[in-house]
Amino acid sequence: MALPDNVATGTGGNDEMHIKTPIALVNGFGGNDLIKIEAPLPLLNEINGGADDDQIYGGGGADIILGGEGDDYIEGGGGIDTLTGGDGEDALGYSLATGGVTVSLNSIGGGSVSGAGVGIAIDVILSGFENIVGSDHHDILTGNNLANKLFGLDGDDRLNGGDGNDTLVGGIGGDTLNGEAGNDTLMGGVSGDTLNGGSGDDILDGGDGVDNLNGGAGNDDIKGGSANDTIHGGGGNDRITGGAGLDTLYGDAGNDTFVFTSINDILPSLGDYILDYQLHADFSDIIDVSAIDANTTIGGEQAFSFIGSSNFSKSAGQLRATTSKIEGDVDGDGRADFKIFADTIYNHEARDFVL
């Protein structure tokens, strides 16, 4: 039986369909399909992606889009759209929007979208979306109680994970990432970002730029980047790595570990500052320098020898500490090759380090 002229169907394989004329119904069927409505008029279109992983881009009209099975990516385009992700791990996208969008997956009815001056109206999200891809502008993206993935792309974005074990990626721009509940992964970008882990055991990576990283409650793994970062561990037993740059590190409550992996990150003129550093108290923090080769004059990787507050004796591999700083000599010249500033009222002992 011949199909009507205003119905387009895929082959069941991996199809690429560019719809340039008025079409009422598009069926992708099986396969990983790319479907784009490119008709010049804002018409009503119904698009069914079918099985497998599809990419679907609506047009300027009031589209009805169903992703179907598989992990689909759907952009509604202009108009008041009805969007359903279906089975699989589906993403709602606005990469083509001409302005910032506010998207929430946590609203009554499944979600909501708004954005003044973006060339789109309000998208009605029925169900089935776990992930959001924002625009190249200033977005506000909010997840729900599922394990969401939120991508800010360009612009100064605000990403809110909600409940669930979420992944938040800021992209380019000065972003604010809030993990909230769950064990979340937060990744900044090339600009100065603010990352707040919230509750749960979170992973924070500031990336480039001057970042402000806050672990919150839980046992967090926090890494700065290439610039001068400020890191707060918050509650819990946190693992804090400043990275390159002149960083300011706060362990806060819990038994925290401050990790240093390269002498280039803590050169004597660029040493990090550890504040709120607690030794031999209710909370006892540790400094881990085990990733640094203690003796560069011989092959292999050597551990440091802790010599208390004594002066270096021109023997490579010595680590010394006073109540205000920690220094290491890796080449045996009797001078500090790296320096960490850490104020404490206690004398350091070997147990305060991973050597």
Higher pLDDT, 184 or 62: 184
Q: What percent of the chain has pLDDT over 70?
A: 92
28 in a structural domain: yes
- Candidates 54, 51, 10; CA nearest to 30 is 51
Residue carrying structure tokens 């919230």: 198
Kindly state the tokens that stand for 213. Answer: 């990283």
The pLDDT of residue 52: 93
* 183 CB-side CA count, 13 A: 4
246 in a structural domain: no
- What's the domain count of the chain? 1
Q: What letter represents residue 10's amino acid?
A: G
The pLDDT of residue 117: 40
Residue range 246-299, pLDDT digits in tens: 999 999 999 999 999 999 999 998 899 999 888 876 668 999 999 999 999 999
Residue range 108-163, pLDDT digits in tens: 556 667 664 445 555 567 788 999 999 999 999 999 999 999 999 999 999 999 99
347 in a structural domain: no
17: left (phi over 0), alpha (psi -120 to 50) or beta: beta
The pLDDT of residue 62: 81
Q: For residues 45 and 64, is the Cβ–Cβ distance under 8 A?
A: yes
Residue range 328-345, pLDDT digits in tens: 999 999 999 999 999 888
For residue 289, count other CB atoms closer than 10 A to its CB: 22
The pLDDT of residue 2: 39
The one-character DSSP state at 71 is -
Rounded distance between C-alpha atoms, residue 259 and residue 242, angstroms: 8
Higher pLDDT, 329 or 25: 329
Higher pLDDT, 187 or 30: 187
Is the predicted pLDDT of residue 319 greater than 90, yes or no?
Answer: yes
Is the predicted pLDDT of residue 37 greater than 90, yes or no?
Answer: no
Is the predicted pLDDT of residue 323 greater than 60, yes or no?
Answer: yes
303 in a structural domain: no
What mean pLDDT comes out for the span 92-112?
A: 81
As a whole number, the mean pLDDT across the chain is 90
Kindly state the tokens that stand for 343. Answer: 């104020």
Rounded distance between C-alpha atoms, residue 162 and residue 169, angstroms: 14
Give the list of residues 6+ apart from residue 24 with CB closer than 8 angstroms, or none. 4, 6, 7, 44, 45, 46
Residue carrying structure tokens 């085990």: 290
Q: For residues 306 and 290, is the Cβ–Cβ distance under 8 A?
A: no
Find how far residue 223's CA is from the centre of its chain. 11
Q: Lowest-confidence range among 67-76, 97-106, 295-304?
A: 97-106
Which residues constitute the domain of residue 79? 1-142
24 in a structural domain: yes
Is the predicted pLDDT of residue 41 greater than 80, yes or no?
Answer: no
Rounded distance between C-alpha atoms, residue 202 and residue 215, angstroms: 7
Higher pLDDT, 78 or 132: 132
CA distances from 146 to 115, 166, 184, 214, 329 (A): 24, 8, 12, 23, 49
Rounded distance between C-alpha atoms, residue 352 and residue 117, angstroms: 56
Q: Lowest-confidence range among 36-40, 95-99, 162-166, 184-188?
A: 36-40
52 in a structural domain: yes
297 in a structural domain: no
pLDDT class of 1 with cuts at 50, 70, 90 = very low
Is the predicted pLDDT of residue 354 greater than 90, yes or no?
Answer: yes
Rounded distance between C-alpha atoms, residue 62 and residue 72, angstroms: 20
Strand, helix or coil for residue 264 = helix
Is the predicted pLDDT of residue 3 greater than 60, yes or no?
Answer: no
The pLDDT of residue 118: 46
Number of H helices, E strands in the chain: 0, 35
Give phi and psi for 221, each to the nearest 5.
Answer: -115, 110
206 in a structural domain: no
